[in-house]
Structure 1
């Protein structure tokens, strides 16, 4: 009897191994499906979030005018929004690291609901300014990026983050059109009601579609050098510690300065489109839609393919080099058609720079600090919006449109030479 058991045991072991392999395969497939569903939920949530944001962007000037806010006051309103977003970006990132991506997205969507609720009752200037306060926690993009960084491997990250550009493009196009249609047919407050309901729906999506624990269990032990698990959410010292990781400060400086001149130009674009290009409001809307389509194509289709053939540092250098060429083109452009041609490399460089730097920086810090890093990255655009109107106004008034192009050219040539001559010491902190 014992002999029979001995003879049968190899077959039994083989069968057990086959069953184990099958179970692991099914578990892996199930994990991939769940991961795909979470990523899809993040894309849907961000698309809706950006749709509502762009919807109100087109309505706010008319709402402000209807309650007696002049152009100077409107500038203060925009600056207030930019400062709140700037201050809140890093705090939101710390919150995401301490409490998870789901909690952070719920906070963002709930803040969006309060934002649109206050806008819907803004019948006076103080109320309109008060409606900006929830913007400190309205960070749908870094929230979605946090989900992506938690569920993807480092090799997949740039492609997955790049595809978030599809959400941006769709939100820009639909939001801009929907805001105009709703305000024209149903009044200036109609988009705020839609935004309120939409953000409540987004809150439900975050609660039921995004798991409370997104990050793989294998990453939970990576707390060495972590800043997120210690200190307060509002600790500036803990946030700034991330800049001391190898290569982080260098890449972040490139991220800030490479796109700053074009950021100043885009802030002034509404005035430039009227004065320099001679466009009507409808034509400006078409131009914005054109930008949205370009961004969808570049981030949805181009960046993913490039990341599979080129290293991220190569793509970073390429984006800076293209930005320098864009600067030369902007310095020489004279008509809106010139700008439409320049827009192609401009969108490519802008999208590639943003995606690649976010990917590099989240890999350079511990997995427990990716939210904080994304929050810091998300503060770049609010910083530009805060200082942009003043600097951009001076450049445009005293030196004309070409000054933005020359500044773009000079800054990016300098950055390109810096990237060529400096070996940035990046250390990947993520588990594979």
Structure 2
């Protein structure tokens, strides 16, 4: 039996043959499996939402410009909420964070179901400030996985993302076609409520190893959720600022292509909705294969810094190919290495950043990582729209090639200098 006062960290150092260690590992795996299911369900509801919002917005009189404002609103809200939510998870524990995220998602869908005025579409986006189920699941996986296996464990969440993408797109299309947008939104609300029940049933209050208690004054200071100093101090740890800047700089060009893809598919490749659905399903399958079967094998054989260099180099090559592609077939050829490079890049940078800070602050760091994606969704449509309308698809691909090439050369030089110093 677990003795009083014995922490999870102490149990993890028990001998392999110890029954206590075996029991703890079994509990960890049960929690992580529940987290994977919750992730797949949440992504399903989110892609189901994509089959509702555009059509409901059109019925309520939104044009392309106002729909862009609506999407930008979500990006700004989640940009603000990401770091605060991560800090909330560190202070109050995994179950509280996931419960808040799932409850917010359920409210989000309820407001969408009753939206009958353009203003209500903006109101229904407000709960998205706490709709960070995926970062919350990353918190749990980060806490429960060993450092050397963290990248593999995080990549499994990407596999769940692919499953949810396919299931949500298919289910949302069928429900919207046969029963309408409001019924589909109600299904999303019920599904999010079910995810909340899974959280309350299977996720422990805290998944972090217990740490020694500090003085009461310091403890009270560290419990502040809205402490900007507690959030930004993570950038002072060695290597964090550099990796974080790389995540933003190299992620922005690829993010621009992502947020502009629906417009590119309709305007440049002349794809109909049905054909676009098939293409999205193909994207989901590729991501499932990469996240579930490739990244784990790579991280077990190669150092993370080498994989980071590889992902940036591949992205540069893909950007050059995207600049000159003309057919859907050429698009499909570029998608596989593109998804591979993005998946490896996101998993490796998240893993490196969480390893660079104390275990008590991994939630805040993952919240900051999530804010990078929100930042891209906020400014990406404006930059991408300007580039596409004035300079065409070629400009987006060439910027992706140029930016990633510069970062690749920079990291390669650092790697070579470090190797030389080690040899000396």
Classify 1:22/1:87 alpha carbon distance in 2 versus 1 (closer, same or farther; 3 Å): closer
Larger radius of gyration: 1
- Inter-partner Cα distance in structure 2 for 1:329 and 1:394: 21
CA contact (8 A) 1:95 1:104 kept: yes
- Inter-partner Cα distance in structure 2 for 1:222 and 1:416: 43
Equivalent residue, structure 1, for 2:93: 100
- Inter-partner Cα distance in structure 2 for 1:316 and 1:173: 28
Equivalent residue, structure 2, for 1:27: 20
Alignment partner for residue 397 of structure 1, among 363, 386, 389? 389
Alignment partner for residue 197 of structure 2, among 176, 200, 204? 204
Alignment partner for residue 152 of structure 1, among 145, 157, 172? 145
CA contact (8 A) 1:161 1:355 kept: yes
- Inter-partner Cα distance in structure 2 for 1:134 and 1:278: 35
Equivalent residue, structure 2, for 1:221: 212
CA contact (8 A) 1:182 1:191 kept: yes
Range that drifts further, 59-68 or 351-360: 59-68
> How far did residue 385 of structure 1 move?
0.8
Q: Please give the per-residue CA displacement for 1:141-175, whole angstroms capped at 9, x wherever unaligned.
A: 11000000111110110000011111100111111
CA contact (8 A) 2:101 2:133 kept: yes
Equivalent residue, structure 1, for 2:42: 49
- Inter-partner Cα distance in structure 1 for 2:195 and 2:171: 18
> How far did residue 76 of structure 1 move?
1.0
The within-5 A match list for 1:13-92 is 25-92=18-85
Classify 1:182/1:117 alpha carbon distance in 2 versus 1 (closer, same or farther; 3 Å): same
Equivalent residue, structure 2, for 1:7: none
Classify 1:227/1:358 alpha carbon distance in 2 versus 1 (closer, same or farther; 3 Å): farther
Q: Please give the per-residue CA displacement for 1:269-326, whole angstroms capped at 9, x wherever unaligned.
A: 1111111111111111111111111111001110000001000001000000101111
CA contact (8 A) 1:247 1:424 kept: no
CA contact (8 A) 2:15 2:21 kept: no
The within-5 A match list for 1:7-406 is 25-217=18-210, 220-221=211-212, 230=222, 232-406=224-398
- Inter-partner Cα distance in structure 1 for 2:47 and 2:35: 18
CA contact (8 A) 1:227 1:241 kept: no
CA contact (8 A) 2:139 2:362 kept: yes
Equivalent residue, structure 1, for 2:404: 412
SS for the counterpart of 2:76 is helix
SS for the counterpart of 1:123 is coil
Classify 1:223/1:32 alpha carbon distance in 2 versus 1 (closer, same or farther; 3 Å): farther
- Inter-partner Cα distance in structure 2 for 1:222 and 1:169: 41
> How far did residue 421 of structure 1 move?
2.1
- Inter-partner Cα distance in structure 1 for 2:385 and 2:203: 42
Aligned length: 403
CA contact (8 A) 2:16 2:22 kept: no
- Inter-partner Cα distance in structure 2 for 1:68 and 1:159: 45
Structure 2 length normalisation: TM-score?
0.91
- Inter-partner Cα distance in structure 2 for 1:329 and 1:69: 35
Unaligned runs of 5+ in 2: 1-13, 419-424
CA contact (8 A) 1:172 1:292 kept: yes
- Inter-partner Cα distance in structure 1 for 2:365 and 2:96: 17
Structure 1 length normalisation: TM-score?
0.90
4+ residue segments displaced more than 3 Å: 21-24, 221-224, 226-229, 423-426
SS for the counterpart of 2:181 is coil
SS for the counterpart of 1:215 is coil
- Inter-partner Cα distance in structure 1 for 2:213 and 2:26: 25
Q: Please give the per-residue CA displacement for 1:110-167, whole angstroms capped at 9, x wherever unaligned.
A: 1011111111100111111100000000001110000001111101100000111111
- Inter-partner Cα distance in structure 2 for 1:199 and 1:141: 13
- Inter-partner Cα distance in structure 2 for 1:260 and 1:88: 20
CA contact (8 A) 1:257 1:411 kept: yes
- Inter-partner Cα distance in structure 1 for 2:220 and 2:273: 46
CA RMSD of aligned residues (A): 2.1
